[in-house]
């Protein structure tokens, strides 16, 4: 009985370890793909029109700043976030989550 329990414990440990390694590899590959797609979008946008790229980056920065401002301030009493405030807050939180994900997983991409 002791041998079976030890064998089951070892097999559970191996399955968990292999699962974690596979998940780590998949998350790293996804992070490298997202980072590559962002670089490709920036490159294609800049090659199409630098002025439009800078204008778009400025508008995106304004939207993210508004989202951060609305996300970290208390809404008026009796009112939740509505309309533009809800959209920019969601955009800011999505961008922040993506940046944190890339910070943790895309640092090992070894991109040339």
Residue 24 pLDDT exceeds 90 = no
Joined tokens for residue 53: 């790229």
Compute the distance between CA of residue 89 and CA of residue 70 in angstroms, rounded to an integer: 6
> What is the arithmetic mean of pLDDT over 51-71?
92
Enumerate the domain spans of the chain: 2-108
Sorting pLDDT into bands at 50, 70 and 90, what band is 31?
confident
Residue 99 pLDDT exceeds 80 = yes
Q: Is the Cβ–Cβ distance between 93 and 71 less than 8 Å? A: yes
Sorting pLDDT into bands at 50, 70 and 90, what band is 1?
low
Sorting pLDDT into bands at 50, 70 and 90, what band is 81?
low
Q: Rg of the chain over CA atoms, in angstroms?
A: 22
Sorting pLDDT into bands at 50, 70 and 90, what band is 78?
low
Compute the distance between CA of residue 69 and CA of residue 106 in angstroms, rounded to an integer: 28
Compute the distance between CA of residue 33 and CA of residue 79 in angstroms, rounded to an integer: 40
**Which is nearest to 33 in space by CA: 111, 91, 92, 112?**
111
Sorting pLDDT into bands at 50, 70 and 90, what band is 12?
confident
């Amino acid at each position: 009985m002791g041998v079976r329990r030890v064998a089951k414990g070892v097999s559970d440990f191996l399955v968990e370890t292999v699962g974690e390694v596979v998940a780590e590899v998949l998350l790293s590959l996804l992070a490298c793909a997202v980072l590559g797609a962002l670089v490709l979008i920036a490159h294609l946008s800049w090659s199409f029109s630098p002025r439009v790229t800078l204008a778009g980056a400025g508008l995106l920065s304004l939207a993210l700043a508004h989202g951060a401002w609305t996300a970290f301030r208390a809404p008026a009493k009796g009112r939740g976030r509505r309309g533009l405030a809800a959209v920019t807050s969601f955009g800011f939180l999505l961008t922040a989550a993506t940046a944190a994900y890339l910070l943790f997983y895309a640092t090992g991409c070894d991109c040339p």
